């Protein structure tokens, strides 16, 4: 179900279509994406696929509930009540101020310009920001005892390439006590220092296709590890990061300009604090 929902959102992102209709009211991908981006502070697209699907499902269910509650409130006369009208007037007044400020800030930001020379200079002077460290992709089978781990290694010894990967995933699903077990033990890509020391030190000494010859002990238990891929450290090309640098520089300039603008507006304004 989660995969279906994520597919719907991905597809509707292209066609900007409707995800679900509640009593004739359409809930679109745009609405769902706005909530998801706000809830993840703009980092939704960086999340793993399973997490995306989980959050998407929750947001859609929340929007459906919201429409159902609104329809019932309408039906039961809430929208005609004095309490509702008073709250609505208060909210609209706040929103009016917030919206005006938002549009004003957007206009100020759009006035900020950064040229190619400035972007290239930043790229040249900050190489550490555009260097990707080496990464490893590994799978593991986590068991409670060393004897269990050694039995798994014995069962895998002699296998290579596809046969090894297939058998490893099968054993991980059947025997691993770790959360990655149902996924065949796959941990995805990770960099130096992201795993506990004993695990980290072992993995980064291994080559692609290597299987640990002995169990690796950590506070979680005993690990049998298979390295499925390695990505060497690399410098990101200028074309790939140009847009990011431009946005970063614009934000920095914008912040400085806004501080100057606010200082100017404060000098012109009459601001009086209430006495305590």
CATH of the domain at 36: 1.10.8.1040
Instruction: Name which residue leads in pLDDT, 44 or 84.
Output: 84
Q: How many residues does the chain have?
A: 276
Residue 13 — pLDDT band, cuts 50, 70, 90? very low
pLDDT at 2 over 70: no
pLDDT at 17: 82
pLDDT at 141: 97
Looking at the fold, whether 229 and 142 belong to one and the same domain comes out as: yes
Residue 16 — pLDDT band, cuts 50, 70, 90? low
pLDDT at 10 over 80: no
CATH number of the domain to which 178 belongs: 3.10.50.40
Host domain of residue 202: 133-233
> Global pTM?
0.50
Q: Is residue 210 part of a domain?
A: yes
How many domains is the chain built from?
A: 2
Looking at the fold, whether 220 and 150 belong to one and the same domain comes out as: yes
Residue carrying structure tokens 């991908």? 29
Per the prediction, the chain carries an average pLDDT of: 90
Give the strand pairing for 18-22 and 25-28.
antiparallel
Residue 52 — pLDDT band, cuts 50, 70, 90? confident
Reduced to 3 states, what is the DSSP secondary structure of residue 218?
A: strand
pLDDT at 15 over 80: no
Instruction: Name which residue leads in pLDDT, 173 or 17.
Output: 173
Q: Is residue 71 part of a domain?
A: yes
Share of the chain above pLDDT 90, in %: 78
Reduced DSSP (H G I as helix, E B as strand, rest coil) percent helix, strand, coil of the chain, to 5: 60, 15, 25
Q: Is residue 257 part of a domain?
A: no
Nearest Cα to 2, choosing from 66, 35, 48, 41?
A: 48
Q: Is residue 21 part of a domain?
A: yes
Looking at the fold, whether 140 and 213 belong to one and the same domain comes out as: yes
Residue carrying structure tokens 């000494």? 205
Tell me the H-state helices in 133-196: 146-156, 161-175
Report the chain's terminal Cα–Cα distance, integer Å. Answer: 57
* Each residue's pLDDT tens digit, 59-78: 999 999 999 999 999 999 99
Among 15, 46, 80, identify where a domain stops: 80
Residue 215 structure tokens = 């169990």
Q: Is residue 122 part of a domain?
A: no
Q: Is residue 154 part of a domain?
A: yes
Using CA atoms, how far apart are residues 35 and 98, in angstroms rounded to an integer? 18
Share of the chain above pLDDT 70, in %: 94
pLDDT at 41: 83
Q: Is residue 128 part of a domain?
A: no
Q: Is residue 102 part of a domain?
A: no
């Amino acid at each position: 179900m989660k995969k279906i929902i994520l597919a719907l959102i991905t597809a509707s992102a292209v066609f900007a279509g409707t995800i679900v209709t509640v009593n004739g009211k359409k809930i679109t991908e745009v609405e769902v994406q706005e909530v998801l981006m706000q809830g993840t502070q703009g980092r939704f697209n960086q999340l793993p696929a399973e997490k995306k699907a989980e959050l998407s499902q929750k947001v859609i269910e929340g929007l459906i509930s919201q429409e159902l509650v609104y329809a019932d409130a309408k039906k039961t006369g809430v929208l005609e009540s004095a309490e509702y009208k008073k709250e609505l007037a208060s909210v609209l007044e706040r929103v009016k101020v917030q919206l005006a400020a938002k549009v004003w800030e957007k206009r100020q930001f759009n006035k900020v310009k950064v040229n190619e020379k400035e972007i290239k200079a930043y790229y040249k002077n900050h190489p550490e920001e555009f260097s990707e460290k080496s990464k490893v992709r590994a799978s593991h089978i986590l068991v409670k005892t060393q004897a269990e781990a050694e039995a798994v290694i014995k069962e895998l010894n002699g296998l290579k390439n596809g046969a090894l990967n297939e058998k490893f995933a099968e054993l991980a699903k059947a025997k691993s006590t770790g959360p990655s077990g149902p996924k065949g033990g796959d941990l995805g890509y990770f960099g130096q220092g992201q795993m506990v020391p004993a695990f980290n030190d072992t993995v980064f000494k291994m080559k692609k296709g290597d299987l640990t010859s002995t169990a690796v002990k950590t506070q979680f238990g005993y690990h049998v590890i298979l390295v499925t891929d390695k990505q060497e450290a690399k410098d990101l090309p200028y074309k790939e990061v140009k847009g990011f640098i431009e946005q970063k520089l614009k934000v920095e300039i914008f912040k400085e300009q806004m501080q100057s603008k606010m200082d100017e507006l404060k000098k012109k304004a009459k601001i009086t604090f209430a006495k305590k």
